[in-house]
A and B are shown apart, each in its own frame.
Chain A
Amino acid sequence: MPHEVIMPALGMAQDTGRIVSWLKQPGEAVASGDALFEVETDKATMEVEAAHDGYLTDVRAGAGEDVPVGNAVAMISDTPEDSGMTGNNAGAGADATNDPPDDAALPEGREVIMPALGMSQDSGTIVAWLVEAGAQVAADDPLFEVETDKSTVEVPAGHAGHVAALLAEAGEEVAVGAAVAVISAEKPAAPVQRKARAAPAETAPAKPARPAPSSVPKDGPAPVAPTAGGRILASPKARRLAAEQGLDLARLAEAGHPQPYHVKDLEVLRGMGQTRAATPGTDDFPMQITARVPATPGAEFHAWISAEGATAPPVPVLWAAFACGALRRARDAGNASLTVALTGVASPARKLADPDLHRLTQQVEAEETTGPALILRDFSDSAITGMRLSTPSAPAVTMGREGDDLIVTLDFTAAQIDEDQALAFITDFTARLSDPLRHLL
């Protein structure tokens, strides 16, 4: 569909512009952004660019002609032929009937456009309408107020007549050159009043949510987290050193040491000793391995023992025996007695004296005072599949259930067993769970 090319308002006090020369010939293809013609105002000569792609047609003002601001000087059409869609000559207002079909409902009359009040202005915001739809106006009556990045100014009607349509509401931002009102010669039967059409180009895409700025600065590790009691005041260097050395400034605060903290206060913190927070690479840093095995082989094995007539131990005791055997091999522990502490949701807490060295059907309780070599927590009857609570006193195996699978979690520290032993243990243990006959061999 054809688009009008209008004489832009390039200055605040500009009524007309003189076309110095056309830079495109009638019928020539133009792209949006191409310079179409040069216009001279009281201040400067500048190029006017095409706002649409198409062909320059219907050129109705030649070089040297003065054209009132806002009047059409040509069309940009889909074909090189004149559209013939205009009866207006230079000096006449642009005709609303030239607009696209969705403007068909608009009353006949002359369009009032959003003027370009600054050199770099793309759009203007209508601050307020100064007339009512349907009102009678003279050509120099102020029609509306427009706000640009620089100032707020009144825009006159430009044509005498009646306000037949207001095409944007106060507060709306309208692209320069877009029609904001129609002035008709006759009093309109039903004046139109509506919001500006949301032109696709004006609809800014929703801004993607910005990722939260990283709290880890490049120059050093993150400062320690503030305590529940509020922010700890400490110098940047004291915070950095505390984080690097695994010192928790909150402990100084809890001990009532006066803030703010500086590097020298870290000495006090070091003196507080022992319960410092674990850091990776230290002996007491908690580590964890998780594995998944099918539950069926174990269940079948338990059923088989029971079918043989023997007094089968509870399933957790079976697991304790498997785990104890796996731990013996992983630690290369020979015949040393390994106590297993057994806890769980369904069974009372027990301490078994080496369930691996004893027969499966004859479990022996260990002495109450014996420290366990392994802790086995049975949560296979609960929704819990794994846990890491306070670091346990021995390697801890947690048995959880997920459908037909057992989830086996080993929590340990380097002070208890090393990483290789832990991996060997979990591999051996899960192999026994998957194929319990291995345990008997």
Chain B
Amino acid sequence: MREITLSKAVNEAIAEEMRRDPTTFLIGEDVAEAGTPFKVLSGLVEEFGTERVIDTPIAEPGFMGIAVGAALTGSRPIVDLMFGDFIFLIMDQLCNQAAKACYMSGGKLNVPLVLRTNLGATRRSAAQHSQSLHALVAHIPGLKVALPSSAYEAKGLMKTAIRDNNPVVIFEDKLMYQEKALVPEEEFLIPFGEANVKREGTDITLIGTSSMVQVAEAAAEQLASEGISAEVIDPRTIVPLDEATLLESVRKTSRAIVIDEGHQSFGTTAEIASRLNEKAFYHLDAPVLRMGAMDVPVPFSPALEDITVPTAEGVADNARKLCAGEMIHAA
């Protein structure tokens, strides 16, 4: 197997699906001749032409609306939203139109649309270009949410998303585009709702999403040297969520930390922790901890920005406390 970057993996997934299905097209800002955001889409306009790789004006609500309409009438658009932060501009098209059409038509309409965008801080992009807003999307019934944690997931999940008959939003971590992973050359898809147990352990379960899977794995490595056996799980999609795998792990380890780069309050970590509390209560020997991004606008100052996101050291520190029985706030 070869190693390729996450950027290349996404490019391959889109190119393969566009070859496979002529109704698939790509639309967004700078996706074609103006050069491509994070250089992910290089070469696509040369192969598929400007009719299927469409540059748009800087008008997110407009091209998102065009894509929803195209999806409703038989095409399979892939919308490129340059920054996840811009999702606020297209909320009506996404949440009121795309997410609802299948439900409100009693299944007569489908919206086979992929919204491809990104998340992640520490790129020194400041508060309006550094947010991780997937929890906003996951809150809306009718939208699926995939969070690839490596080049392998980025390719497999993207292909599944493009073939899905209703809207899927994929958030890639913008700091991981140049990171490499083993990706098979032959075709493969990763089904939605199947978590990946990255590392087995017996003392604590670390559930990480997107780039936080790496943080969890680094923490597990530190903990292993101290005799604490941590299990690391990547849910891969948060809607649908593979509850069964998470619950099975927590019933085994009886402790868990959920790590995600969205803001901690009212976020992905809270939702997953709450489900574990509800469904594995009598198997818990400690409260399920949330570790999300600090509840502040992402600072521009690098020194400040770095402390707003969960780190391997922070995760390991909390895991030690949970395993030592120090984290029940007994009052």
Contact = CB atoms under 8 A, between A and B. Distances in A.
Interface residues of A, number: 15
Contacts, number: 39
B45 interface: no
B283 A236 contact: yes
Nearest to B284: A236
B330 A260 contact: yes
Nearest to B322: A262
Given A233-B330, A237-B254, A260 B325 contact: yes
Given A233-B328, A233-B330, A235-B328, A263 B282 contact: no
A10 interface: no
B83 to A, nearest CB: 40
Interface string A251-288: 00000000110111000000000000000000000000
B281 interface: yes
Nearest to B282: A220
A240 B282 contact: yes
A236 B325 contact: no
A208 interface: no
Nearest to A243: B282
Give the residue among B282, B284, B330 with the most A Cβ atoms within 10 A.
B282
Give the residue among A217, A219, A238, A262 with the most B Cβ atoms within 10 A.
A262
B283 A259 contact: no
B285 interface: yes
A104 B325 CA distance: 77
B284 A235 contact: yes
Nearest to B287: A235
A395 B330 CA distance: 45
A233 B325 CA distance: 12
B328 to A, nearest CB: 5
A233 B285 CA distance: 12
Nearest to A221: B282
A235 B285 contact: yes
A239 B284 CA distance: 10
A366 B282 CA distance: 54
Interface residues of B, number: 12
Interface in B275-305: 279-286
Contact of B282 (A236, A262, A264): A236
B285 A238 contact: yes
A237 B328 contact: no
A219 B330 contact: no
B286 A217 contact: no
A236 B328 contact: no
Contacts of A239: 282
Contacts of B283: 236-237, 240
Contacts of A233: 328, 330
Contact of B325 (A217, A220, A262): A262
A217 B330 contact: no
B285 A263 contact: yes
Nearest to A233: B330
B325 to A, nearest CB: 4
Contact of B286 (A219, A235, A240): A235
A260 B254 contact: no
A262 B255 CA distance: 11
Interface string A163-181: 0000000000000000000
A239 B254 CA distance: 13
Contacts of A240: 282-283
A237 B287 CA distance: 11
B330 A237 contact: no
Contacts of A263: 254, 285
A263 B285 CA distance: 7
29 contacts: A219-B279, A219-B280, A219-B282, A220-B282, A233-B328, A233-B330, A235-B254, A235-B284, A235-B285, A235-B286, A235-B325, A235-B328, A236-B282, A236-B284, A236-B285, A237-B254, A237-B283, A237-B284, A237-B285, A238-B285, A239-B282, A259-B330, A260-B325, A260-B328, A260-B330, A262-B285, A262-B286, A263-B285, A264-B325
Return the 9 tightest CB-CB contacts between A and B, nearest first: A220-B282, A240-B282, A262-B325, A237-B285, A235-B285, A260-B328, A233-B330, A219-B282, A260-B330
Given A236-B285, A262-B286, 13 more contacts: A219-B279, A219-B282, A235-B254, A235-B285, A235-B325, A235-B328, A237-B282, A238-B285, A239-B282, A260-B330, A262-B325, A263-B254, A263-B285
Interface of B: 254, 279-286, 325, 328, 330
